Chain A
Amino acid sequence: MKKKKFTIAVTGLNAIDSPGPGVPVIRALRESKLFDVRIIGLSYEALEPGIYMHDLVDKTYQIPFPSTGIDSLLTRLQYINDQENIDLIIPNFDAELFSFIKLVDHLEKKMKIKVFVPTVEQFEERHKANLDEFGKRHKIKVPYSKMIFSTAEIPALKDQFTYPLVVKGKFYDASVAYTPEQAANYFNKISAKWGLPIIIQQFVHGQEVNVTALGDGKGNTIGAVPMRKTYITDKGKAWAGISIEDDKLMSMTKKMIKSSKWRGGLELEIIKTANDDYYLLEINPRFPAWVYFAVGCGQNHPEALVRLAMGEDVKPFKKYDVGKMFIRYSFDLIVDLKEFEKISTLGEL
């Protein structure tokens, strides 16, 4: 039987030391046994490596930065859709997700493009700044945290926190500060890059474990694979990892997806303490950059997301391989200047 073919637009084509999930999501889609894909890359900058990976990405279009607003994004998507007739968009950046969530209705009803993302409420309630409340609502342990807007608030933190504490940006970046001076330094560095507020979170000692998962929006966990980072870059990113067996972690993931009725891909960042307590550090509202590892462990989450978006009845995965490892590597793509010129000047390649 001939397989269906979907045209899927994917963002997050950067693959630097803090890589985006776009390329691994595309690899997962290309390995689908259920459908074929034409991949449309959506890029923000001309040096995102995915643009030049022609075996993975069929055509790339530049799209405007989220800061330019929803209208300019919509205008650009309309143009791209006129050329490509897109079936589905998979956004992969935290910073752009709000715009896509806001456009879901328009994209689905007027442009016939599916987008399988969390609701605004789900997106907002799991926000780093709201995680404390999220933990209380869903009965999940979360390290105490608060938002601050100025370095003037740092001296008073000693009344609510014990050092070390974690200084976090609203979208990305986190550093452990052992003194108020370090906290002020990180505040300035991170706020210069990602803006305000800055989130201060109590540091919890333990082992970090991560879960990549997919919720169907009705409370069911379609898939979940837990991993421990075995090699971490100086940006805290996993350069190698191993899949683990942890029933408590899996039930925490399922509980969280059930109570929030999470819709779409997500990554949970969790600390497991020496006493086997689990603290939720962060919920990333999209697949992580290591999502291809889930495919390697027997669960193709991006493929399942496409099927959910297309309205299919998707049964949850029942198992995954424990003790599988992933190891990243960097790779030099050789690119003709003409290609760079084309994406830089015409905005498409």
Chain B
Amino acid sequence: MNIKKNIALSDSGFVFDPSSGDSFSTNPIGLEIIKLMKNGKSADEIKKLITSSYMIDDNSFEKDLYDFVNMLQKLKIAEGEEKK
């Protein structure tokens, strides 16, 4: 799963899709995950990085990440196959 190339991200968590004109706000952790995805990190890599930095177990994070990525796909911010 990749973040679409033209998606604009600001440090405040504002996400702008220039092809649809849609904009969204995400919290700091959402922004961090989108940035990691944009840098080409796989789901496993993101899981490792986040679970080592925050107090969350692997299973809970995996479920949350799955939901989040699903939402990004529905909002057309992310596209393609999920990277393992």
- Using a CB–CB cutoff of 8 Å, the interface residues on chain A facing chain B are 207, 227-228, 230, 241-246, 322-323
> How far is it, in angstroms, between the C-alpha of A214 and the C-alpha of B8 when the chains are bound?
29
User: For A207, A242, A243, which residue has the most chain B Cβ atoms within 10 angstroms?
Assistant: A242
For residues 51 through 67 of chain B, which have their beta carbon under 8 Å from a beta carbon of chain A?
A: none
Give residues of chain B (14-34) contacting chain A, Cβ–Cβ below 8 Å: 16, 18-21, 23
Chain B contact-residue range equals: under 10
Majority SS at the chain B contact face: loop
Q: How far is the CB of A254 from chain B (nearest CB, A)?
A: 17
How far apart are B74's CB and chain A's nearest CB, in angstroms? 11
Specify the main secondary structure of chain A where it touches its partner: strand
| Residue B12 lies at the interface, judged by CB distance under 8 Å to chain A | no
Interface pair A323/B16, CB less than 8 Å apart: yes
Q: Are B16 and A207 in contact (CB under 8 A)?
A: no
B interface residue numbers (CB < 8 A to A): 6, 8, 16, 18-21, 23
In the complex, the answer to whether A207 meets B20 with C-beta atoms within 8 Å is yes
Q: Which residue of B lies closest to A228 (CB)?
A: B21
Q: Which residues of A contact B16 (CB under 8 A)?
A: 323
Minimal beta-carbon separation of B25 from chain A (angstroms): 15
Check if A244 sits within 8 Å of B8, measured CB to CB.
no
> Please, which residue of chain A has its CB at the minimum distance from the CB of B6?
A245
22 contacts between A and B (CB under 8 A): A207-B20, A227-B21, A228-B20, A228-B21, A230-B21, A241-B21, A242-B21, A242-B23, A243-B21, A244-B18, A244-B19, A244-B20, A244-B21, A245-B6, A245-B18, A245-B19, A246-B19, A322-B18, A323-B8, A323-B16, A323-B18, A323-B21
Closest 10 CB pairs of A and B: A242-B21, A228-B21, A245-B18, A244-B21, A322-B18, A246-B19, A245-B19, A323-B16, A323-B18, A244-B18
Instruction: Report the Cα distance A242→B19, complex, angstroms.
Output: 10
Q: Which residues of A contact B23 (CB under 8 A)?
A: 242
